[in-house]
Chains A and B, each alone.
Chain A
Amino acid sequence: MNDEKASTIIEKIEEMRDFLRIGDEVIPFLGELFRFIQQVMPLMSEVNSSFKDSTSKLPDAEDRISDVTKATELATTEIMDTLDEISENVELLAEGQSEEKQKIAETINNHIQDVLMSLQFQDITSQKLTHANQILVAISKKFSGLHLKTEHIKLNTKIGEKMINELQIGINSEKIKKDSEDFHKETEDVIRHEKISQDDIDDLFG
């Protein structure tokens, strides 16, 4: 073997070593990315049926937004009905009264009118909520795509296999578990008051 050939071989070996070094760094990163996607998927996705389980929060969010819209609509209608009634009564009270009192009645009715107009916020906030939800749905679709890609890598490549090992060995399994719990806590629904009656509440207080 001449020197030239030897140095070419050494160069190739160096290149392979570099490649493996990259692999050492990339694999843990991919593992982390994979875990991240696994954590986020149940939260986001209704697109991939394999992840469609009871913990999926996104369809729930959509239902809740429509519930919130309906509830605020109903409340707004009640407020408007009451305001209309007050307005009519004020007019009745003012009938045949002094100019001064009629002026006061007019002022009250103008204020009532202002409150009525400010109820436009109900439509505006509903639309903002709907928009926020649309963004969530769009992001969730992106995540689904990403998830399908990682599944493909996992099944079809050596790196994918290594990634699974990385996942299963769970070098920092305590940390992973904690991350997962933290993530769940951060996204937990704290205003889910699902139909517990006042009687049930009272019973719990004994």
Chain B
Amino acid sequence: MIDRKVLFVDDSPTMRRIIKNSLKKIGFTDFVEAEHGIDAFEKLEEEGDISLILTDWNMPEMNGEEFVKKVRSTEPFSKLPILMITTRGMKDDVITAVKIGVNGYVVKPFTPDVLKMKIKQVLEKVG
């Protein structure tokens, strides 16, 4: 059991279920899900004790890039560890992600092992 509340954001119900499933397998028990950036930011404020964010990039309303920028510029969330899980696999995308302050990056489709490893790396990096 990992004592951390995770917020995961993806507009695809299929992906949300897969991510949730993988998080359970990894050992997380406390999670909140959101459909897009606006939804996610509301949940972040509501919950108040989220300590890890996994976010998609391509989403309606507010995409992952905008969401990350908003988190990074709002206290007390600006230092939260963020892992991006996306179909966008171009080098430029990754560079953008690094620039806006994403801590780790996983390209879909991913395996539970890769997700586990990336989460571990992100948490080691940011804590």
Contact = CB atoms under 8 A, between A and B. Distances in A.
A124 B58 CA distance: 11
Contacts of A120: 14-15, 18, 108-110
Interface in B1-55: 10, 12-15, 17-18, 21-22, 25
A111 to B, nearest CB: 14
A123 B108 contact: yes
B127 interface: no
Interface of B: 10, 12-15, 17-18, 21-22, 25, 58, 87, 108-112
Contact of A124 (B21, B22, B108): B108
B112 A119 contact: no
Contact of B112 (A73, A113, A126): A113
A49 interface: no
B87 A117 contact: no
Contacts of A127: 58, 87
A119 B87 contact: no
Given A123-B10, A123-B14, A123-B15, 17 more contacts: A73-B12, A73-B14, A77-B14, A113-B112, A116-B18, A116-B21, A117-B22, A117-B110, A117-B112, A119-B14, A120-B14, A120-B108, A120-B109, A123-B12, A124-B108, A126-B12, A127-B87
Interface in A119-177: 119-124, 126-127
Interface in A96-132: 113, 116-124, 126-127
A76 interface: yes
B84 to A, nearest CB: 15
Residue in A120, A122, A126 whose Cβ sees the most chain B Cβ within 10 Å: A120
A80 interface: yes
A124 B18 CA distance: 13
Interface string A5-19: 000000000000000
B39 to A, nearest CB: 17
6 smallest A-B Cβ distances: which pairs? Answer: A120-B109, A123-B12, A122-B14, A76-B14, A123-B15, A127-B87
A117 B10 CA distance: 15
A120 B86 CA distance: 11
Nearest to B19: A120
Contact of B109 (A80, A113, A117, A126): A117
Interface in A57-86: 73, 76-77, 80
A122 B18 CA distance: 11
A121 B25 CA distance: 20
Nearest to A69: B12
Contacts of A77: 13-14, 17
